[in-house]
Structures are given as structure tokens and as C-alpha cells.
Amino acid sequence: MSYSVLLYHIIWRTKYSYYTINPDHERDLYGYIYGLCENKRCKLLRIGGIANHIHMFVGIRPDIKVSEFIQVIKVESCKWMKERRFMFPIFDGWADGYGAFSYSEKDKYMIINYIKNQKKHHEIQDLMEEYAKILKEWKIDIKEDRFLHDDKGLPRP
């Protein structure tokens, strides 16, 4: 029998990075996403964020492509939120892209704590600064990355 542990820190944001995730109901949203992960037999280790983006640290089965996994999460959570306009009245959808970064077991608690402290972290740093720092750590040129671009390839406002 083979065994694989594939851990990913995945970040995605609201359309145009607008603050549309109602903080009063973010736990409901996170619970729904937890259920989506369970249905895919993937292990959600931590989820968190602020009103314009979400971070998750998740173990994804090796037979599931990361792109397919995040597509399911984004499509299904978008439908769920739009069906609950009373909870997320100004939510208009997710931006097209996402960031996915792989980590080892030894990094697990560092990433979990990083996600746990998102609200405090974003008191001093916005999403663009945060993401630029992550890209720098991975030696990715921010000009080559599409995460902060929306619909027509234009940078977010």
C-alpha cells in the first residue's frame, strides 16, 4: 500500500479583492468549506482569512489535482454564499486565480499559526503586500503571477 501526504497552503480572494465576506458569518462559510474537503476525503488542517481573502492549509489526496480541488471549493462555496444573501449580501464571487504552495510536515505548525493569526496580521499588512512576500519567499516574480489580476487581466483596483 502506498501512502502520500501532500500539504498545501492555498490562498484565494474575492472578486476585485472587495471586502465581501461578512465576518459575522465567516465561521459558517469555513464550516461549509470543511464539509467540501471532507466530501473529497481531503484533510482541512486550518482555514482563516479576512473579508477579502481566504487561506487554507489542507492535505489533498494524490489522485486529485490541486486545480480541480480548488475549483470545486470556489464554485461550490460561491453558490452556497449566493444562496445565503442574508449572510453575505454584497458577495459577488471569487477572483479567477489562486495561489497554492506545498509544504512539508515540519512546516505544518508554522502555516497553521500563520493562518490562525490572519486578522492580527492584516492590521499591519494588506493582501497585496502579504502575497508579494509569499511570492518572494518562493522566488516567484510578482510580474509573472496572475493572482492579483481580475477578469480582463488588469491589476485589481
**Chain segment 81-105, per-residue pLDDT in tens:** 999 999 999 999 999 989 999 999 9
92 in Cβ contact with 42 (< 8 Å)? no
- pLDDT, residue 49, reads 96
Residue 92, CA distances (Å) to 21, 63, 125, 155 in order: 10, 31, 24, 18
Sign for the CA dihedral angle at 68, 115, 13, 89 comes to positive
* Mean pLDDT of the residues in the chain: 91
54/98 Cα distance (integer angstroms): 10
CA angle 136, 30, 113 (to 5 degrees): 45
CA-CA-CA-CA torsion for 15, 121, 103, 153, nearest 10 degrees?
Answer: 20
- pLDDT, residue 152, reads 47
pTM, two decimals, is 0.90
Whether residue 154 is predicted with pLDDT greater than 80 in this model: the reply is no
68, 27, 48: which is closest to 114 by C-alpha? 48
Residue 96, CA distances (Å) to 47, 63, 99, 119 in order: 20, 23, 11, 23
Read off the pLDDT of residues 20-43 as tens digits, 9 standing for 90 and up. 999 999 999 999 999 999 999 999
Report the DSSP beta bridge partners of residue 149: 155
